[in-house]
């Protein structure tokens, strides 16, 4: 598989703070790559290093097989990005903004090009309106349209749904899927809307305090055969002892202080519940952890148990 992004042992120090800590990952051609982490995890710092907005303290970055230090201009001509809030000219119209940035990117400006970009992000009807009259969500969509005006092969979107209403979020989701499936673009999406990432990402990276916790294919991470089940009972010590003497011993995972973890096929959950009843266990809760939000919260709140999700 051809790598579009290859990051090796990337580290960034800010005085007494290590924002990114020995981070390595790769993004393959055609991926919709979900980049996740809590606030302060190092996502935006990593993205800024990918875009050469800040320099790493150490480590290497390659895009399209080229070193970012030695081939910066050649690389960035193939990249489109929106980092946090898009920078647009608020006293110009949407049309004028797109036309201006297209010209700065060396693209031949035509009326069709500009209107196609605005239509793609749902702003064709507001083409002549000044950006100062736009909501934050509309500015966000305009920023994405501008980022794509030079037809980049790699698109990096940092919180692209900020300020959008539910319909706007759905529009951006559909745009990401269209860019990936119909135009073959490689897309890196950083977002706090986990349910949206779950719907679009083909691969995922989760970081915490600048370090990688998990990287992998979404369909493997959420394989029904690899469902984590969390159990709380009135007597966890007794329950754990009973499970260790039962057929469930082989699927027990490293334990947390307040719960018991097992990894099994989702279809085995009813049988597990029946076994607990037969063991005379008093169950307080039995919860499968199989969606991205559950997965994310589990490993970022108690990352010493990442092994339970990835082995």
CB 79 within 8 A of CB 127: no
Does residue 304 carry a pLDDT above 70? no
The CATH T-level fold of domain 224-290 is Alpha-Beta Plaits (3.30.70)
Higher pLDDT, 135 or 57: 57
Higher pLDDT, 32 or 223: 32
- The pLDDT value recorded for residue 191 is 81
- The pLDDT value recorded for residue 130 is 96
Question: Taking the domains of the chain in order of start, what are their residue ranges?
Answer: 3-217, 224-290
Does residue 1 carry a pLDDT above 80? no
The CATH T-level fold of domain 3-217 is Rossmann fold (3.40.50)
How is residue 287 written in tokens?
């919860």
Does residue 7 carry a pLDDT above 60? yes
- The pLDDT value recorded for residue 308 is 38
- The pLDDT value recorded for residue 221 is 67
Of 116, 187, 111, nearest to 152 (Cα)? 187
- The pLDDT value recorded for residue 293 is 67
Domains 3-217 and 224-290 alike in fold: no
- The pLDDT value recorded for residue 9 is 96
Instruction: Please report the beta strands in the chain, taking only residues with DSSP state E, as ranges in sequence order.
Output: 3-14, 17-28, 32-36, 58-63, 66-67, 79-82, 154-158, 186-190, 203-208, 211-217, 227-233, 260-264, 283-289
Higher pLDDT, 266 or 274: 274
pLDDT > 90: percent of the chain: 55
- The pLDDT value recorded for residue 311 is 37
As a whole number, mean pLDDT of residues 155-181 equals 86
As a whole number, mean pLDDT of residues 281-292 equals 81
Rounded CA separation 311/307 (Å): 6
Confidence of residue 309 (pLDDT cuts 50, 70, 90): very low
Rounded CA separation 131/118 (Å): 13
Q: What is the pLDDT of residues 183-194, one digit of tens each?
A: 889 999 998 777
Rounded CA separation 262/254 (Å): 9
- The pLDDT value recorded for residue 111 is 96
- The pLDDT value recorded for residue 294 is 66
- The pLDDT value recorded for residue 305 is 40
- The pLDDT value recorded for residue 298 is 64
Q: What is the pLDDT of residues 210-267, one digit of tens each?
A: 999 888 887 766 667 777 888 999 999 999 999 999 999 999 987 755 789 888 888 8
How is residue 160 written in tokens?
């692209």
Higher pLDDT, 37 or 272: 272
Does residue 96 carry a pLDDT above 80? yes
- The pLDDT value recorded for residue 153 is 94
CB 273 within 8 A of CB 286: yes
Q: Indicate the length of the chain as a whole number.
A: 311
CB 207 within 8 A of CB 41: yes
- The pLDDT value recorded for residue 18 is 94
As a whole number, mean pLDDT of residues 162-181 equals 84
Confidence of residue 56 (pLDDT cuts 50, 70, 90): very high
- The chain-wide mean pLDDT, for the chain, equals 87
């Amino acid at each position: 598989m051809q790598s579009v992004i290859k990051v090796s042992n990337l580290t960034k120090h800010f005085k007494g703070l290590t924002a990114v800590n020995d981070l390595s990952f790769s993004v393959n051609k055609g991926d919709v790559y979900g980049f996740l982490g809590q606030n302060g995890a190092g996502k935006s710092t990593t993205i800024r290093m990918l875009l050469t907005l800040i320099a790493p303290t150490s480590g290497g970055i390659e895009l399209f097989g080229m070193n970012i230090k030695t081939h910066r201009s050649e690389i960035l001509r193939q990249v489109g990005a929106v980092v946090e809030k898009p920078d647009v000219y608020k006293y110009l119209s949407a049309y004028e903004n797109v036309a201006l940035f297209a010209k700065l990117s060396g693209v031949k400006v035509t009326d069709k090009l500009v209107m196609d970009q605005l239509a793609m992000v749902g702003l064709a009807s507001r083409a002549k309106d000044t950006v100062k009259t736009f909501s934050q969500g509309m500015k966000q969509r305009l920023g994405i349209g501008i980022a794509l005006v030079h037809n980049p092969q790699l698109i990096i979107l940092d919180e692209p749904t900020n300020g959008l209403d539910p319909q706007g979020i759905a529009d951006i989701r559909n745009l990401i899927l269209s860019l990936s499936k119909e135009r073959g673009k490689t897309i890196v999406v950083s977002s706090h809307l986990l349910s949206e990432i779950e719907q679009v990402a083909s691969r995922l990276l989760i970081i915490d305090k600048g370090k990688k916790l998990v990287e992998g294919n979404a369909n493997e991470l959420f394989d029904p055969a690899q469902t984590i089940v969390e159990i709380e009972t009135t007597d966890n010590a007794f329950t754990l002892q009973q499970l260790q003497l039962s057929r469930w011993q082989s699927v027990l995972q490293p334990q947390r202080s307040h719960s018991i973890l097992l990894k099994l096929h989702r279809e085995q959950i009813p049988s597990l519940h029946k076994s607990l009843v037969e063991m005379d266990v008093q169950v307080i809760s039995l919860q499968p952890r199989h969606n991205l939000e559950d997965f994310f919260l589990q490993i970022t709140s108690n990352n010493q148990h990442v092994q339970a999700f990835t082995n």
